[in-house]
Structure 1
Amino acid sequence: MTRSTVSRRSIMIAGAAAGLAGLLAEPAAATPRSRHGTAFTNVTVIDPATNRVTPNTTVTVHGDVITDVGGRVPAGVRIVDLRGKFVIPGLADMHTHAQAEGIDPGLYVANGVTTVRDLAGAQLAHDWRARIAAGTLLGPRYTIGSRIIDGLPSVWDPAWLDVVQVADAPSARAAVREEIARGADFIKVYARVPREAYRALVAEAHRHGVQVAGHGPDAVPLEEAADLGQASVEHLFWTPFETSTQEREIRAEIQRIRLGLGDYPGWFKAIHPLEWSAAHSYSPGKAGRLYAKLARKRMRQVPTLAMHRGLDYARTVNLDDPRNKYLPQSAVAEQEFARQELYLKDRLPSEDPEWAQMFEFRLRTVKHLHEAGVPLMTGTDTGTCAVWPGFSVHDELELFVTAGIPPMAALQASTSEPAAYLGTNTGRIAPNHKADLAILDANPLHDIRNTQRLSGVVVNGQYLNEEARQHLLAEIAETAAKTPATAKPGACPCHTG
């Protein structure tokens, strides 16, 4: 793929331009909060933070706060009888990229996703958060990172993405200060940041009281990043290196990687063989020492298994999915373009079994991380192949359980753990916590796929029953269908985002 080709047709997922807001209808609002409160009665409460399952319970909400769990129904409140149903805290997607006006916020809510962390500092996400706070847009709670801070040269071409490039400690510190001034809630670090620049970046961010999240920089071992205080690491590209008996040789190869500006495909081509070598020289002892460090430092891991599945099974991944009706046509086309030009370019069919084995190794890695006490969080990397806003959080939960994580622990990774990471009073069904709830028709502890059997959602205290939820989905599908096929691509990184 030439740079000119990529410049003309971005590898980023297409989204409707913000200017389409006036053309396309906004999603329907939720049922207004009852002035006197709402009591959800006769429901089984599953609270992953405490591992408690309480049947035949009442959850009372006033405004946007849970005021009581298990008590009597107060006089004068609206009563919603949820007999036979189950309620869990609203879910979290901790790795997203804003894509399309009239699409993303509603899809999250309709899927019971009430907390979202955006990892590219998109202005569209800032706009959504302001409108949600003002009550003019229905959507989840947003935490928004900085623009991507990468090395010099970046693997991203600035013509594709508003990326910040740093070469040394002074430029890294300056970049952190600028991003905080622009309103970033945390700093997003990328793969090619040099070691000294990385160390300065983390120190400067902490000096200003903000977290650092993102990639494991190629030049910095995860153990060192954990010691320095990186709060979360995304994906599973870097984790295998320190679990390998060939770590020294692999790191020497990483140091020899030389890439030009915008040569993301070159980075991917260089890193994958090293991943493969690490996976096949796995040392349980080295893994145990690394995972113990990550657990002690509470360095959250966001595996983005849904993204990795699309990558590792790129030849057979189903892009003709019914959920495509909720994406603009251009977005679906760009996913196919990325699949062919990034994932499958120069990959022979005979290599597919190797890639499949790599995904199985990733699943085992997630299980081992969990067993070692490393905190996990669900994230999907929206904008990548076969990933849909909102829907794919449920895919991620299913993949966690496939990896061997118990359903309750998987739910923790999507509720109480993100809340603890963010320092918010969300992710629990308890008094004085935010009224963000997902109402289910069946028990997710019996089958994690039951998180997909939604019959209602409460976000920020606003209740959508099943009729309202389906109406919201229908409006989003209509918006997607009306979005011009030539809509300007959104600033949304592909799977290395």
Structure 2
Amino acid sequence: MKSTLLRAFLLVSVLLVAVFFWAGRELDKMYGALTPRFTDAEVSFVDDAIQIDNISVYRVDSGSYIPHQTVRIREGVIVSVDSTAPPSADFQRIDGTGKYLLPGFVDSHVHLWGSKNDLLLYLSQGVTSIREMMGNPDHLDWRQSTVNRPTMLIGSNKVQSYGTFNALFTRLSQGHINSYDYSPTYELFDFIEERGYDFVKIGSMLDSTEYVHLLAAARDERIPVVGHIPLGIYLADFLNHRQYDIAHIEEIVKLLIRSYDREKERNPTQAGSLEEYVQATADQVAKKLHRDGTYVTTTLWLSHSFIDQQVRLDSTLSNLELAYVNPGLLGGTVLTSRAVGWYPAVNPYRFPAGETAEETEERIQGTKDYIHFHALVFKSLVANGVKLLAGTDANIPVAVPGFTLHKELQLMHRLGMRTPDIIRSSTRLPCEMMQQACGSIEPGYRADLVILRADPLQDIGNSDEIDGVVANGRYYDPDALAGMLRMVANLNRN
């Protein structure tokens, strides 16, 4: 009897260990960590002192160009910008005739997951800085060990509030940090900062009391609190506290929707539709954000893609740069069909099976309304001068790293934002937020630059007419940029 129980125990133990390792491998596959990765030796660039001749230099402060300028770069820094610099054998020269020089673009909301090759995608699209919004030790290692990459600001994994079982599960499966494990609150800041992260990222499941404590403690700590607005926070709570950065305009939309629902529950006879409520309160929120100096990241293109993912996913995918998307992310995993997968069988935004036509139509209308509310909130934020940062939520379906930032800029323009302000939101402002010496073309600033063949002031769609990129002083010519894309596509096929 004892030997039978022992054998059963050993069998169950072996099965549990096997399941644990299988699940870990499936999650690694889903997050793209099993895809072959590039090495720096495979990427070509010029690391000498360089001089860009006869180019139109964009001035972010005035929203205009200074023509026929010569820009000199040495040891990763802009050393001069003028029209009189003589030829010099000390600099490798680049002909900028007929071209436009802008500060390198910044994507203020990305998710690398396990996909190191995305670093090349960003460079290929003129994105010279990124803000990773759910960091892990791999990202910290890439920042230290990889030469060919954008500058990386890396936040902690999500800080949430969970009971014992959920805390264990989410820590093992997603790396989430449980706020209840840290008391007093400053211990959480110490934990995150000691590991090398640049800010505290908070999630939607953070307890409302913990949220207030974190924001209060952030005033005395050296790293900011950024991210979601927790689901337990309503409009009145939000107006009484200051958050350094809000990770999506969508977070404001959700705040207003749940605040409206709560008011209707408390007073069912209250007049006014949800749309009227959003219109009436969006300015109130925007004025508060402007007064506080809060940054808000856009991620509008992703939210606007929800309807396409629901009703025409196949055609949506056919128009994307899928060759460059990590195949692990595209295919997801059998462990969960509503995580980061892009294809129809695993896409998180697809409709539940078995819905009636009426239910589907109602869901579609709800998505259209949701997108409309984003536009209303965005226009209020713009009108009230809130500090907007262009961001994409890259690698959340169907936001392609690097490429989607240009679509984000185009959507911001269609929704009424001025082109100089759009450029500022993707250059100067995020550098200001990151406290980095970038986002401007002037001596002493980091040499993060993008050379364009066409003027984005004439058409914001020209932001992707890229003829060369300088990232931290390293120059990548058109052949090098094309080579990056070929390399990533080839690695994805292996």
Compute the TM-score of the two structures, normalised by the length of structure 2. Answer: 0.82
How far apart, in 1, do the equivalents of 2:123 and 2:112 lie?
14
User: C-alpha displacement at 1:17, in angstroms?
Assistant: 3.5
Contact 2:282/2:377 (8 A) holds in 1? no
Matching residue of 2:6: none
Name the SS of the counterpart of 1:53 in structure 2: strand
Structure 1 residue 102: Cα displacement: 4.6
Q: Which of structures 1 and 2 has the larger relative contact order (alpha carbons within 8 angstroms, sep 6+)?
A: 1
- Within-5 A mapping of 1:271-286: 279-282=274-277, 284-286=279-281
CA positional deviation for 1:39:
1.6
Change (3 A) 1:14 1:253: farther
Q: Secondary structure at the match of 1:307?
A: helix
User: 1:331 pairs with 329, 333, 345, which one?
Assistant: 329
Q: Structure 1 residue 243: deviation in Å? A: 5.4
Residues in 1 aligned to 2:145 and 2:28: alpha-carbon distance in whole angstroms:
29
Does the aligned pair in 1 maintain the 2:331–2:342 contact within 8 Å? yes
CA contact (8 A) 1:92 1:378 kept: yes
- The structure 1 residue matched to 2:210, chosen from 197, 200, 204, is 197
Q: CA deviation at 1:101?
A: 4.4
Counterpart selection for 1:124 from 138, 142, 147: 138
Aligned partner of 2:482 in structure 1 is 470
Give me the whole-angstrom Cα distance separating, in 1, the residues matched to 2:195 and 2:151. Answer: 19
Cα shift at 1:453:
0.9
What does residue range 155-194 of structure 1 map to in structure 2 within 5 Å?
157-167=170-180, 170=183, 172-194=185-207
Q: Secondary structure at the match of 2:445?
A: coil
Residue by residue, what CA displacement relative to the aligned partner does 1:94-141 show, whole Å, maximum 9, x if unpaired?
A: 111123445111111111001111111222211110013xxxx30000
Task: Tell me if the contact between 1:93 and 1:393 (Cα under 8 Å) persists in the aligned partners.
Answer: yes
Partner of 2:7: none
Aligned length: 447
Given that residues 166 and 193 in structure 1 are in contact (C-alpha distance below 8 angstroms), is that contact kept between their aligned partners in structure 2?
yes
**Residues 334-386 of structure 1, C-alpha deviations (whole Å, 9 max, x = no match):** 23358755312337431323312321331232122111111100111122112
1:78 aligns with 2:78: no
Preserved contact between residue 235 and residue 259 of structure 2 (Cα < 8 Å) = no
Q: Does residue 220 of structure 1 match 2:233?
A: yes
Q: Which range moved further: 233-242 or 55-64?
A: 233-242
Cα gap change, 1:242 to 1:174, in 2 (>3 Å): same
Query: Relative to 1, partners in 2 of residues 1:339 and 1:461: Cα closer, same or farther, differing over 3 Å?
Result: farther
Aligned to 2:360: 349
Does residue 159 of structure 2 align to residue 149 of structure 1?
yes
Is 1:288 aligned with 2:283? Answer: yes
Change (3 A) 1:359 1:29: same
SS in 1 for 2:85: coil
1:309 is aligned to 2:304 = yes
Task: Tell whether the 8 Å contact from 1:38 to 1:62 is kept in structure 2 after alignment.
Answer: yes
Structure 1 residue corresponding to 2:102, chosen from 80, 88, 99? 88
Q: Which residue of 1 aligns with 2:3?
A: none
Give the counterpart letter for 2:50 in structure 1: T
Q: Which moved more, 1:277-286 or 1:87-96?
A: 277-286
- Alpha-carbon distance in 1 for matches of 2:189, 2:143: 22
Distance 1:165 1:293, change over 3 A: same
- 1:114 pairs with 2:109: no
User: 1:9 and 1:251 mapped to 2: Cα distance?
Assistant: 43
Distance 2:437 2:420 in 1: 19
Task: State whether residues 260 and 277 of structure 2, in contact with CA within 8 Å, keep that contact through their aligned partners in structure 1.
Answer: no
SS in 2 for 1:342: coil
Which consecutive unaligned segments of at least 5 residues does structure 1 have? Answer: 255-276, 483-497
Residue 240 of structure 1, CA deviation: 3.3
Query: Which runs of structure 2 are paired with 1:251-262 in the superposition (5 Å)?
Result: none
Match of 1:17 in 2: 34
Other structure's SS at 1:157 match: helix
1:435 paired to 2:447? yes
Q: CA deviation at 1:288?
A: 2.0
Residue 349 of structure 1 aligns with an amino acid whose one-letter code is: T
Structure 2 equivalent of residue 492 of structure 1: none
Once structures 1 and 2 are overlaid, which stretch shifts more, 312-321 or 420-429? 312-321
The alpha carbon displacement at 1:455 in A equals 0.9
2:249 — aligned with what?
Answer: 236
Deviations 1:53-77 (A, max 9, x none): 2122222212211111224224332
User: For the residues of structure 2 that align with 1:129 and 1:43, how far apart are their CA atoms?
Assistant: 31
Counterpart of 1:257 in structure 2 is none
Shift of 1:52: 2.8
Partner of 1:486: none
Is the Cα contact below 8 Å between 1:169 and 1:201 reproduced in 2? no
1:172 offset after TM fit, Å?
4.5
Which of 1 and 2 has greater Rg? 2
The range that moved more, 347-356 or 206-215, is: 347-356
> 2:195 is matched by which residue type in structure 1?
R
Question: Are the counterparts in 2 of residues 12 and 383 from structure 1 also a CA contact under 8 Å?
Answer: no
Task: Please give the secondary structure, in 2, of the residue aligned with 1:282.
Answer: helix
Instruction: Indicate the larger mover: 429-438 or 227-236.
Output: 227-236
Find the counterpart in structure 2 of residue 208 from structure 1.
Answer: 221
Separation in 2 of the partners of 1:186 and 1:210? 5
Q: Retained in 2: the 8 A contact 1:66–1:432?
A: yes
Unaligned runs of 5+ in 2: 1-19, 267-271, 333-340
Q: Which residue of the partner structure matches residue 261 of structure 1?
A: none
State the match for 1:415 in structure 2.
Answer: 427
Taking the aligned partners of 2:24 and 2:33, their CA distance within structure 1 comes to 18
Q: Which residue of the other structure, out of 417, 430, 444, is the alignment partner of 1:405?
A: 417
Tell me the amino acid that sits aligned with residue 129 of structure 1.
R
Confirm or deny: 8 A CA contact 2:342 2:398 kept in the other structure: no
Question: Judging changes above 3 Å, is the alpha-carbon distance between structure 1 residues 78 and 251 closer, same or farther for their aligned structure 2 residues?
Answer: farther
1:151-201 C-alpha deviation (Å, 9 max, x unpaired): 224698334201112249836443333222222210001112122211222
Quote the sequence identity (%).
24
Q: Distance in 2 between matches of 1:379 and 1:7?
A: 30
Alpha-carbon spacing, 1:308–1:162, altered in 2? closer, same or farther (3 Å): same
Partner of 2:17: none
> Residues 113 and 42 (structure 1 numbering): CA distance in 2 closer, same or farther, change over 3 Å?
same
| Change in 2 beyond 3 A, CA 1:283/1:393 | closer
Q: In 1, Cα distance between the equivalents of 2:208 and 2:53?
A: 55
TM-score by length of 1: 0.82
